[in-house]
């Protein structure tokens, strides 16, 4: 299989039809191919036995199916999280995580190999940027998790979060194309409200999401409520300062009518005090917002400690009682296999 051939996972349903009909075959064969991709979740073109042999031969010759081989799969000790190290066609590695909360499965997928944003507490940021993922490579991660659940007889995949390796709005076109494909109601049919794109604050990307009214939920990694504190944790804040970011978030909510999830990694002694809670409360007061508090997960390149549970509770009370802001404290899952937020590094 040549890497240069087009990956079937990169095509929308309309493009699959165009391809198959363009070869002179019936649209019925295009529908069969689509079903083989997203219902049966075939692991190779040869396994698509419902297709006539002549169509399979043509597909084998002119396309490829970008299934990503699993180099390693690791289960967390509590059984809620499974992390997959997947191999890209150029032998780079990325990580995809399947999480299970109250019976519902979520796939946390990567949008890049490595990341250029350099957030100080993040293992992906610490490793630097390798390359953008192609749309097909993003779709392949979702199919991988959906297939695994199906083969295991577990409830089907319900949620996707683009919070794995990479900054999705730095790879905007491929990410949005992939999400369009996994949303298709005749395929994986993931609901728009169940897909969350998480950004470190790429202002042009946030504005583009709004203008294009992309049917996704948006999470913005805030972590600090002043420009100075934020720039120390998130170097991207130097390119897109806090005031511009908040302006973009206001514009986004005004255009789309959606609330934004603001992510706040709680680092003991750094951003978990009552003063910090008041600062984020003032910053977000009156906006359609929910704050997700995430106790810091350990990485080898950053010495900080997670904010304590009681501190998180006080933080939440200040947000709720004084600023009317809803918040959650993210459960720490998959930490023992380095599958938590900020821990993905694509290495064995």
136 binds ligand SF4 (CB under 6 A): no
- Residue among 96, 106, 124, 343 that touches ligand SF4 (CB under 6 A): 124
Residue 205: CB minimum distance to ligand SF4, A = 12
222 binds ligand SF4 (CB under 6 A): no
Instruction: Tell me which residue has its CB nearest to ligand SF4.
Output: 125
Structure tokens at 168: 């999705």
Catalytic residues: 95, 341
Rounded Cα distance, 47 and 212, in Å: 37
- Residue among 66, 125, 307, 340 that touches ligand SF4 (CB under 6 A): 125
Residue 32: CB minimum distance to ligand SF4, A = 38
| Cβ nearer to ligand SF4, comparing 125 with 307 | 125
| Cβ nearer to ligand SF4, comparing 33 with 249 | 249
Rounded Cα distance, 186 and 22, in Å: 21
Q: Which stretch binds ligand SF4 (CB under 6 A): 118-126, 252-260, 273-281, 316-324?
A: 118-126
Please report, as residue ranges, which positions from 162 to 201 form the binding site for ligand SF4 (by CB under 6 A). Answer: 165-167, 200
Residue 12: CB minimum distance to ligand SF4, A = 27
| Cβ nearer to ligand SF4, comparing 165 with 296 | 165
Q: Which stretch binds ligand SF4 (CB under 6 A): 96-104, 119-127, 222-230, 239-247?
A: 119-127
Query: Whats the size of the chain, residue-wise?
Result: 348
Residue 201: CB minimum distance to ligand SF4, A = 9
Helices 242-256 and 203-211: crossing angle, nearest 10°?
10
| Cβ nearer to ligand SF4, comparing 34 with 252 | 252
Residue 164: CB minimum distance to ligand SF4, A = 8
| Cβ nearer to ligand SF4, comparing 1 with 232 | 232
- Residue among 109, 113, 115, 162 that touches ligand SF4 (CB under 6 A): 115
Q: How far is CA 179 from the centre of its chain?
A: 10
- Residue among 45, 119, 133, 176 that touches ligand SF4 (CB under 6 A): 119
Rounded Cα distance, 215 and 100, in Å: 24
* C-alpha distances out from residue 346 to 83, 156, 157, 242, 305, Å: 10, 26, 23, 30, 23
Backbone phi, then psi, for 89, in 5-degree steps? Answer: -60, -25
Residue 23: CB minimum distance to ligand SF4, A = 40
| Cβ nearer to ligand SF4, comparing 23 with 129 | 129
117 binds ligand SF4 (CB under 6 A): yes
Size of the site for ligand SF4 (CB under 6 A): 12
Residues that bind ligand SF4 (CB under 6 A): 115, 117-119, 122, 124-125, 165-167, 200, 342
């Amino acid at each position: 299989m040549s890497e240069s051939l087009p990956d079937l996972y990169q095509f929308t349903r309309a493009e699959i039809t165009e391809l198959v009909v363009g070869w002179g075959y019936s649209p019925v064969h295009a529908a069969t191919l689509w079903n083989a991709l997203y219902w049966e979740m075939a692991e190779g073109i040869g396994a698509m036995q419902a297709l006539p042999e002549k169509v399979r031969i043509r597909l084998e010759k002119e396309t490829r199916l970008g299934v990503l081989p699993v180099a390693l799969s690791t289960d967390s000790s509590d059984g809620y999280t499974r992390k997959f190290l997947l191999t890209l066609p150029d032998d780079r590695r990325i990580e995809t995580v399947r999480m299970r909360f109250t019976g519902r499965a979520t796939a946390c997928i990567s949008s890049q190999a490595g990341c250029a944003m350099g957030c100080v507490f993040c293992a992906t940021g610490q490793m630097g940027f390798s390359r953008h993922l192609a749309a097909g490579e993003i779709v392949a991660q979702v199919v991988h998790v959906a297939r695994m659940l199906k083969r295991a007889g577990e409830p089907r995949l319900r949620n996707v979060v683009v919070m794995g390796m990479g900054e999705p709005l730095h790879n905007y076109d491929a990410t949005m194309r992939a999400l369009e494909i996994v949303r298709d109601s005749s395929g994986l049919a993931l609901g728009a409200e169940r897909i969350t794109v998480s950004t470190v604050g790429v202002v042009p990307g946030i504005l583009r999401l709004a203008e294009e009214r992309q049917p996704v939920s948006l999470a913005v990694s805030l972590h600090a409520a002043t420009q100075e504190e934020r720039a120390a944790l998130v170097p991207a804040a130097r390119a897109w300062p806090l005031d511009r970011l908040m302006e973009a978030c206001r514009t986004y909510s005004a255009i789309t009518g959606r609330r934004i999830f603001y992510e706040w990694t709680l680092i003991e002694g750094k951003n978990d005090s009552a003063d910090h809670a008041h600062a984020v409360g003032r910053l977000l007061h009156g906006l359609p917002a929910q704050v997700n508090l995430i106790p810091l997960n350990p990485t080898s390149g950053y010495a900080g400690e997670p904010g304590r549970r009681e501190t998180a509770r006080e933080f939440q009370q200040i947000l709720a009682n004084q600023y009317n802001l809803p918040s959650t404290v993210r459960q720490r899952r998959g930490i023992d296999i380095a599958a938590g937020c900020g821990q993905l590094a694509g290495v064995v």
